[in-house]
A = this chain, B = another copy of it.
Amino acid sequence: MTTILRGNIIHAPAFGTLETIPRGYLVLEDGIIQGVFPDLPERYGGCPVEDCGQALIMPSFADLHLHAPQYPMLGMGMDLPLLDWLDTYTFRTEARFEDTDYARRVYRQLARELIAWGTTRVAMFSSRHTDATLILMEELENAGVTGYVGKVNMDRSSGPAQEGTEESVRETLRWLENCHFAHIKPILTPRFTPSCSDGLLEALGKLAAERNLPVQSHLSENTGEITWVRELHPDCGQYWETYDKYGLWKPGTLMAHCVYSDRREQEAMAGSGVWAVHCAASNLNLCSGTAPVRELIARGVHVALGSDIAGGDQLAMSRAAVMAIRASKIRRMEAGGDFLTVPEAYYLGSTAGHLYFGGGAGFEIGHKLHAIVVDDSSLPEPARELTLAERFERSIYLMEKEHIRAVYSEGRLLPRPADGR
């Protein structure tokens, strides 16, 4: 089936590159991109055209680090130090997901909100609860969100929701047996080194190898954590080596934060194909710092963005992109260097994430469409006609849910969900 979308087409096929095709045509066969054309090729002359008018058609967003069971505490506890925040909010909130009815309600709302904000691919932490994790995967799948979800493993220093080591491994196997979703796949998720015993890390590393499963965790988020990891693993020179020691440091491993990753750690990432997920809002909210994004990219590390709710306070990846720009400006003020431009931040929040999951670089031929249609007509009347690049820029800064008129995921137009629960 041929589908043709017409509108102002904008994408970022490479870091720092923004391509704009005014009133162009995006041609799909069964949801797979056949090309982007300024004029419609003759061979498609007989096909109906879905005309989006003056709206912007852009690749959707990808959120490569967020904690689903922290959604209920979004925007709370931000005045607390990290450890109090974990004790007062995080562990207690996550423990609630023992209750599968509660999980169903919260995860249904989360999945709908992700789509409403134009996020169609995620790499997500669940809680330790197998059943709630399966519910989360089902709700994401039903809403049209694709990607990876991980049952969290944590058998140490993790508050009321902590598991036993054997229980953690057994539940992980039970979870994996029940992952039968078309577009949401499992990812192994040791919470972070301090919350996993050596035995658990070892078992997860074996599982990752045997079943060829991807891995996600946290790395070098703040200085206290790094000291703690050093105490726990005196044989490891650096934090990343605690993952490497157990076979969890491998191509496609996602490491959130990397705020304090120095040259050696960055080179270890580049050398192993480990990805860094930059979570600027969370790093500022929790006073962690600002990650060396340009350095990571210059050293050949793949970088994508994460909302990191609920350390981050906003689910919208357009806002995560703006916050990445802000964090880069803070680094510039402290130490010089270039900040991230809007097209660069958008690349990290969209293209990079899609590439992680095997998607295309922008609207690349042969890939299923992941896109949003942005109607910016209610934004302030400009002083002169704007270029598409300018409309793109202000849309990234000003986009509210109401401006996202349509969302495509895996080649199909999603039904616009009702807001709220």
Residue of B nearest to A420 (CB): B378
Choose, from A28-36, A102-110, A237-245, the stretch at the interface: A102-110
B383 touches A342 (CB 8 A): no
The A365-421 residues at the B interface (CB cut-off 8 A) are 377-384, 386, 390, 393-398, 400-402, 419-421
Nearest Cβ on chain B to A231's Cβ, whole angstroms:
24
Q: Within 8 Å of chain B (Cβ to Cβ): is A131?
A: no
Known A-B contacts A287-B339, A326-B284; the reply to A398 vs B74 at CB < 8 A is yes
Complex formed: what's the CA distance from A202 to B334 in Å? 39
CB-defined interface of A314-353 with B at 8 Å, one 1/0 digit per residue? 0000000010011001101110000101100000000000
A285 touches B329 (CB 8 A): yes
Q: Within 8 Å of chain B (Cβ to Cβ): is A78?
A: yes
Q: Within 8 Å of chain B (Cβ to Cβ): is A355?
A: no
Q: Within 8 Å of chain B (Cβ to Cβ): is A135?
A: no
B383 touches A73 (CB 8 A): yes
A71 touches B380 (CB 8 A): yes
Nearest Cβ on chain B to A124's Cβ, whole angstroms:
15
The A251-281 residues at the B interface (CB cut-off 8 A) are none
Nearest Cβ on chain B to A50's Cβ, whole angstroms:
24
Q: Within 8 Å of chain B (Cβ to Cβ): is A92?
A: yes
Complex formed: what's the CA distance from A329 to B78 in Å? 11
A419 touches B333 (CB 8 A): no
Could you say which of B78, B380, B395, B396 contacts A397, with CB atoms under 8 Å apart?
B78
Q: Within 8 Å of chain B (Cβ to Cβ): is A163?
A: no
Which B residues lie within 8 Å of A287 (CB)? 329, 332-333, 339
Nearest Cβ on chain B to A154's Cβ, whole angstroms:
18
Which B residues lie within 8 Å of A294 (CB)? none
B313 touches A381 (CB 8 A): no
Q: Within 8 Å of chain B (Cβ to Cβ): is A93?
A: yes
Residue of B nearest to A390 (CB): B76
Q: Within 8 Å of chain B (Cβ to Cβ): is A75?
A: yes
Which B residues lie within 8 Å of A105 (CB)? 381
A380 touches B109 (CB 8 A): yes
Nearest Cβ on chain B to A175's Cβ, whole angstroms:
22
Complex formed: what's the CA distance from A70 to B366 in Å? 43
B313 touches A73 (CB 8 A): no
Known A-B contacts A105-B381, A329-B285; the reply to A393 vs B313 at CB < 8 A is no
Residue of B nearest to A75 (CB): B397
Which B residues lie within 8 Å of A342 (CB)? 78-79
Q: Within 8 Å of chain B (Cβ to Cβ): is A72?
A: yes
Interface residues of A (CB under 8 A from B): 71-79, 92-93, 96, 102, 105-106, 109-110, 284-285, 287, 289, 313, 322, 325-326, 329-330, 332-334, 339, 341-342, 377-384, 386, 390, 393-398, 400-402, 419-421
Closest 3 CB pairs of A and B: A75-B397, A75-B394, A378-B420
| Subset of 16 A-B contacts with CB under 8 Å | A72-B382, A73-B382, A74-B380, A74-B397, A74-B398, A77-B393, A78-B342, A78-B397, A79-B393, A93-B383, A96-B383, A284-B326, A287-B329, A287-B339, A313-B398, A326-B326
